[in-house]
Amino acid sequence: MELVKDLSDSGIVFYWIDEAGVRISPELVTLNLANEWHQKILFESYSGQERRISVIDRRSDQDKRDSMIRNYISSQAFPKGRRITDIPAEVDQDLVKEKLKTLI
């Protein structure tokens, strides 16, 4: 999956596309909502035994992350987490710049 930042009639939106370039998510108005949608879909599609109770990683709270780094040396190998859902999504394709250039 890739995250796309695009310009629509309602403003800047984010959506996820698959490997073929087909949109697989609704238009989301913030990067945080795009992250949440991505986490939800990945957790729903996982078919193995799930050991994690919450989809929200404990390290997403900066105070808890700092505490983990200070108190548990072994956690420093993966300070942001090991799962793809632990790492905040970044925009893979930014279509806004191209569309704004055509408007000018």
- The CA distance from 30 to 103, in Å, is 23
Residue that wins the pLDDT comparison between 99 and 46: 99
pTM above 0.85, yes or no: no
Task: Check residues 9 and 64 and name the one with the higher pLDDT.
Answer: 9
Q: What is the pLDDT of residues 40-94, one digit of tens each?
A: 888 887 777 766 666 555 555 667 667 766 776 554 555 556 666 667 789 999 9
Task: Specify the 3-state DSSP secondary structure of 28.
Answer: strand
Is the pLDDT higher at 53 or at 39?
Answer: 39
Q: Minimal CA–CA distance to 84: which of 30, 35, 50?
A: 35
